[in-house]
Chains A and B, each alone.
Chain A
Amino acid sequence: MPPVNELPVKQSRISGRGTGALNRRQALGVLASGIASGLAACSKPDQQIIPYVKLPERVVPGEPLKFATTLPLSGIGRGVIVTSIDGRPIKVEGNPRHPASLGATDVFAEAAVLSLYDPDRSRTILNSGAIASREAFRQALQAHLQQVRQRGGEGFRLLTGRVTSPTLLRQIDDVLQLFPKAAWHAYEPVDEDSERDGAMLAYGRPLQIVPRLEKARVLVNLDADPLGPGPDQLRAARGFADRRTPQGEGFSRIYSIEAAPTLTGAKADHRIALHPRLISEAGIAIANSMGAEIRQAELPDHVLRVVKQAAADLSANRGGGLVLAGQALSPESHALVHWINQHLQAPVDLIDRADRTAAGREAATLAELTRDLASGAVDTLVLIGADLEFARHSAKASFRLHLGCYVDETAVLSTWHIPQTHILEAWSDLRSRDGTASLVQPLIRPLFQGWTDHEVLALLTRHADASPYDLVRETWRPKAQGGFEEWWRQALHDGVIAASAAPPITPGPPKLPNVSAVVTPSAAMTILLRPDPSLWAAGMPKAADEAGVGQFPRAQSTRSKTIRPLVRGRRHPRCRWPPDRGAHCSRARRRRRHREPYARPRPSQCRRDR
């Protein structure tokens, strides 16, 4: 019988080649070989050159190509020319042929490239937060649409941002024709409600105002800020700059009455800061001086003096005087400004709004949608590119489909979220403020498998994969003069569709609105909500913010100095924590022995305070 080994003895480490543990000699050997192999890694790394299989026309690998497209801001298009290298867009520049760009871009157009490559973009279909497949989505959608169709579209609501795309408007018409009881709502965070209602009051139709600043010899700006951020900024800025030359028709003069510091106020020749509720009084004063005979304007004397001067200037420059009203003013003030401009024969064009369908349908408001949701009348909700939180009411709609570039709060609340292709990856078309239409062409194949808004609406109507390219061509085929292919290539090359600007309308004389009694500003605080010059509105892509667009220097610095609380004890210049947090460092402890009570705030030397 072999002896039982009751005392297993550990093998000696010195001779332990097979134990798996290293002895000192082996460890040193491994170290040396590691160093040697580090030295050996001195040659160039392997690279590959991957050419095309079929080289596309005009592409030279590594050399830039430029393509014209259009980018939206609040749904309104500005034509741009995008530089792309090897099929990847890298830089956005203005399109000199497009009237909304005139060769310039604004911050939001430049940031489009940043949001295209944003790693936080939505990439997959989500079904109540869980990743789902395209087939599952299609089946669920079709099953639900069956029911909707049987009811004739009752309970179906479509919510979009501002839509100026003729193709999308055509598709919305199709959807509403298919579902007669459905409704279309549009919501834009930075909207023009007052302007629209003002035109309704004055002319009886919701006309769009297109100011021509290049013809304005005298401009009176009532909180309008045409030079400030917005979809029309580039055109307005160019028009403004064109009139600031002594040659030609004479140097312009600008009066700016505004509630907050703006770019227009900075460039104005006369600027008054006024409480927002009193700005409409200035409009009344100007109208009175032209014979409107409304009630007396209640303004402080120094303001009244300047307003009278502005009114005199306007009257002396018939055909070259222009008054603009801002969004914060009431619709009545807008109507009054319409009357003034008509009286002055101001260089302003009135056109039909671009955000209504060919059949004349207009979007309903968000308030109506919320009301419908609350009453439980909505069962299917399709949100395209709208970032809203319906937390309280949205659960009442059983099928919520959200199309968006990001998984934002709205996506989280939806039953289905599908990723949207970025505007630089999509075929579409857009109109600018003056009605000029231009095509949107993709600069890169979609990075993630998403849908465009056109494809989603096509899914709703025809359940087929209609390509946005064909849809856009279909929209413009009847409007092309001559051969369609030539017209199409020219439109893509130019980045603007020739002669598509909306013709100016001469409506009847505007009605004077019933301007109610003076609203005295209360003693409480008034809050002014304005779009951020770098972020625009809440729906701006977050990458643009992370990449630093939100940190670009703003034209007007509105940050106030921090007001430091009076704190006993002195902060050591190099410490980050206020002294009342205790003796966190020896310096603070030493300083605490020599406390000084504060007499006045001192500029902080701590980085934390800046």
Chain B
Amino acid sequence: MQIFRPGANAIATLVLASIGVIPVLAIGLAYQIVGSAYTTDQDVTRNQPVPFSHEHHVGGLGLDCRYCHASVETARFAGVPPTETCMTCHSQIWTNAEMLAPVRTSLADNKPIAWQRVNKLPSYVYFDHSIHVAKGVGCSTCHGPIHQMKLTRQAAPLTMHWCLDCHRDPAKSLRPREAVFDSEWKPPADAEKSASQLMATYHIRTDHLTDCSICHR
């Protein structure tokens, strides 16, 4: 009298094999999920109260980043413009546009516009814009081709791994200070040489750049 059916052997072998394989696969899956756009919100376009188009304003009109994000060179938070900044132009252009009604309402009621944050970092991370801009990291290096975005999205994964990739070797992300706010800048042909020159010019030393307390203060 057999207790187990004939197929029980196969099932037992399969189970034993999976005890070794499945945790590895599960961890691999977890890494994939955590690094995927699902978790990092990369390339996710958020609904904003006003469908602001960087493509029109930056790419089309040629506005400098600093016109709106005014504190990027002096403070750690680049700043989202107050309603007044929008109204510097839109009190005279497109004054009755339906799309700009929330802006006009905000100015009239003295209630700020609640933008949905696109580039999100957790609060245990300290990120200072001013030092990156001062050392030659361009806006579009991290924020992507802003001048082509009809609606703003997070172009980079903003994971710690991605940040460390640059912190371990900043040379490949640097550009001359004049080109920092140029979204269309491409690295020149002799990228290697100019990159190492920039490292020297901007006094960038990598020996402490990957210390924990640089970002986790």
Q: What residues of chain A have their CB less than 8 Å away from a CB belonging to chain B? A: 42-44, 46-55, 60-63
Asked if A53 contacts B107 (CB within 8 A), the reply is: yes
Residues of A within 8 A of B122 (CB): 44
B82 contacts partner chain A, Cβ-Cβ < 8 Å? yes
Interface residues as binary, B37-72 with A (CB distance below 8 Å gives 1, 0 otherwise): 011110000000000000000000000000000010
Main secondary structure of the interface of B (DSSP, over half): loop
Known: A42-B39, A53-B83, A53-B112. A47 touches B120 (CB 8 A): yes
Known: A42-B39, A53-B82, A53-B107. A48 touches B77 (CB 8 A): no
Bound-state CA distance A480–B76 (Å) is 40
How many chain B residues touch the partner (CB < 8 A)?
A: 29
Asked if A44 contacts B110 (CB within 8 A), the reply is: no
Residues of A within 8 A of B83 (CB): 51-54
Other contacts beyond A49-B80, A54-B82: 8, CB < 8 A:
A44-B120, A47-B120, A48-B116, A50-B112, A52-B83, A55-B84, A61-B79, A62-B75
Would you give the shortest CB distance from A162 to chain B, in whole angstroms? 40
Cross-chain contact of B115 among A44, A49, A52 (Cβ < 8 A): A49
B33 contacts partner chain A, Cβ-Cβ < 8 Å? yes
Bound-state CA distance A508–B106 (Å) is 68
Q: Which residue of B lies closest to A48 (CB)?
A: B114
Known: A46-B116, A60-B75. A51 touches B80 (CB 8 A): yes
Residues of A within 8 A of B120 (CB): 44, 47
Bound-state CA distance A542–B110 (Å) is 37
Residues of B within 8 A of A50 (CB): 112-115
Residues of B within 8 A of A54 (CB): 82-84
Asked if B34 contacts A42 (CB within 8 A), the reply is: yes
B74 contacts partner chain A, Cβ-Cβ < 8 Å? yes
Q: Which residue of B lies closest to A62 (CB)?
A: B77
Would you give the shortest CB distance from B141 to chain A, in whole angstroms? 21
Asked if B38 contacts A43 (CB within 8 A), the reply is: yes
Residues of B within 8 A of A63 (CB): 71, 74-76
Cross-chain contact of A61 among B39, B71, B115 (Cβ < 8 A): B71
Bound-state CA distance A63–B75 (Å) is 7
Asked if B33 contacts A42 (CB within 8 A), the reply is: yes
B187 contacts partner chain A, Cβ-Cβ < 8 Å? no
Bound-state CA distance A61–B69 (Å) is 11
Bound-state CA distance A62–B80 (Å) is 12
B168 contacts partner chain A, Cβ-Cβ < 8 Å? no
Asked if B77 contacts A42 (CB within 8 A), the reply is: no
Would you give the shortest CB distance from A502 to chain B, in whole angstroms? 43
The contact sample of 15 A-B pairs, CB cut-off 8 A, is A44-B120, A46-B117, A48-B117, A50-B114, A53-B83, A54-B83, A54-B84, A60-B71, A60-B75, A61-B79, A62-B76, A62-B77, A63-B74, A63-B75, A63-B76
Residues of A within 8 A of B41 (CB): 43-44
Asked if B79 contacts A60 (CB within 8 A), the reply is: yes
Q: Which residue of A lies closest to B117 (CB)?
A: A47
Would you give the shortest CB distance from B13 to chain A, in whole angstroms? 27
* Residue among A47, A48, A49 with most chain B CB within 10 A: A49
Would you give the shortest CB distance from B40 to chain A, in whole angstroms? 8
Would you give the shortest CB distance from A474 to chain B, in whole angstroms? 29
Bound-state CA distance A48–B46 (Å) is 11
B81 contacts partner chain A, Cβ-Cβ < 8 Å? yes
Bound-state CA distance A52–B34 (Å) is 34
Residues of B within 8 A of A52 (CB): 82-84, 112
Residues of B within 8 A of A62 (CB): 71, 75-77
Would you give the shortest CB distance from A156 to chain B, in whole angstroms? 42
Asked if B82 contacts A49 (CB within 8 A), the reply is: no
Interface residues as binary, B117-147 with A (CB distance below 8 Å gives 1, 0 otherwise): 1001010000000000000000000000000
Asked if A44 contacts B39 (CB within 8 A), the reply is: yes
Residues of A within 8 A of B186 (CB): none
Q: Which residue of A lies closest to B109 (CB)?
A: A53
Asked if B84 contacts A48 (CB within 8 A), the reply is: no
Asked if A49 contacts B117 (CB within 8 A), the reply is: yes
Residues of A within 8 A of B81 (CB): 51
Asked if A51 contacts B116 (CB within 8 A), the reply is: no
Bound-state CA distance A48–B111 (Å) is 14
Residues of A within 8 A of B116 (CB): 46-49
Residues of B within 8 A of A49 (CB): 80, 114-117
Closest 6 CB pairs of A and B: A47-B117, A52-B82, A62-B77, A55-B82, A53-B83, A51-B80
Residues of B within 8 A of A44 (CB): 39-41, 120, 122
Bound-state CA distance A43–B41 (Å) is 7
Q: Which residue of B lies closest to A45 (CB)?
A: B120
Q: Which residue of B lies closest to A40 (CB)?
A: B38
Q: Which residue of A lies closest to B79 (CB)?
A: A61
Residues of A within 8 A of B82 (CB): 51-55
Residues of A within 8 A of B77 (CB): 61-62
Bound-state CA distance A49–B122 (Å) is 14
Would you give the shortest CB distance from A40 to chain B, in whole angstroms? 9
Bound-state CA distance A44–B75 (Å) is 24
Q: Which residue of A lies closest to B49 (CB)?
A: A48
Asked if B117 contacts A53 (CB within 8 A), the reply is: no
